[in-house]
Amino acid sequence: MLTSLPFRSLCIRGTRAGKILTPNSSIVPTCFYSSAKQWSQRQKNDYFVKQAMTNNYRARSAFKLIELNDKHRFLRKGHICVDCGASPGGWSQVASEKVCRKLRPLEKRELSDGYVIAIDLLPINPIPGVHILQKDFTELSTQNTIKNILDKRKVHVVISDMAPSFTGNHAVDHVRIMNLCESALGFAEIILRKGGTFVCKFIMGGTERDFKLLLQSKFSKVYHEKPASSRKESTEGFFVCTGYLGQKKEPVEEYDDDIDYN
Ligand SMILES: C[S@@+](CC[C@H](N)C(=O)[O-])C[C@H]1O[C@@H](n2cnc3c(N)ncnc32)[C@H](O)[C@@H]1O
């Protein structure tokens, strides 16, 4: 059973001065909506917010992952999935439903049961089948913790819905989210198995084209997606990259016996 959260936690995670916190995008500058009332009215009328409540998902963003996965089928039973930027847990709920064969307590759980590791700066209430880490994903120590959990096993899927706290300055927000995408990709290159899938959210702003080229050099297929559940007015998009080609081997420097190196 998925954990049911009260309606309030689905709609409004909290407010900060001049900002509105949303379930799926951390912070939306209030300039988007003339008032918090207008924003909450839109939430109430939103089809996917209603669907999330009906299906006990913590965030409407769960439907973005459902749509992406329905199209590309990258989450399968027994898979290991790393979910970066996972709070409040909508994507992790979906990932756990799709990959976990058995929902055992954490201490008895095995990677082969299907396993989700969810990382976020913010807390995440427990989700069956999900190993939660409240940490900064970009830190080496966090990535080492994930590697220790994996115990040399490679993962099938890395998903990133990470988003910084938005400033309202689109150029700045674009660069910051692309940095998070690069960080997720860098780690995915280390932990993904050959043939694995990488999914990341970005917001458009120019540099996503270069990032796509980079992805194309590492995966056999790269798709730019805009699921129906992603709001039309949002400039967010998703890259779904399938068929990881594997890590390139570092060239090994060989010593030539005939050269005097001193
Ligand atoms: C759009 S929300 C994720 C929603 C989530 N996928 C869901 O369905 O519930 C983006 C999240 O990225 C997290 N985030 C941003 N930077 C991060 C970082 N460096 N490390 C971990 N999480 C980060 C934020 O704290 C925020 O909760």
Strand bridging mode 219-225 / 130-134? unpaired
Q: What is the mean pLDDT of residues 55-83?
A: 97
Q: What is the mean pLDDT of residues 146-172?
A: 96
Q: What is the mean pLDDT of the chain?
A: 85
Q: Which among 123, 210, 133, 120 is positioned nearest to 162, based on CA atoms?
A: 120
The reported pLDDT for the residue numbered 26 is 41
Among the listed residues 70, 152, 141, 75, the one whose alpha carbon sits nearest the alpha carbon of residue 111? 152
| Residue minimizing CA distance to atom 21 of ligand 1 | 120
Task: Write a three-state SS string for 117-160.
Answer: EEEECCCCCCCCCEEEEECCCCCHHHHHHHHHHHCCCCEEEEEE
Does residue 73 or residue 39 have the better pLDDT? Answer: 73
Distances, alpha carbon 30 to alpha carbons 49, 161, 162, in Å: 19, 22, 21
Q: How far apart are CA 136 and CA 155, in angstroms?
A: 20
Tell me, what's the pLDDT at 9? 35
Q: What is the pTM of this model?
A: 0.83
List all residues whose CB is within 6 A of at least one atom of ligand 1. 24-26, 58-59, 61-62, 85-91, 119-122, 136-138, 161-164, 180
Running DSSP on this structure, what letter comes out for residue 164? P
> Is residue 235 scored above 50 in pLDDT?
yes
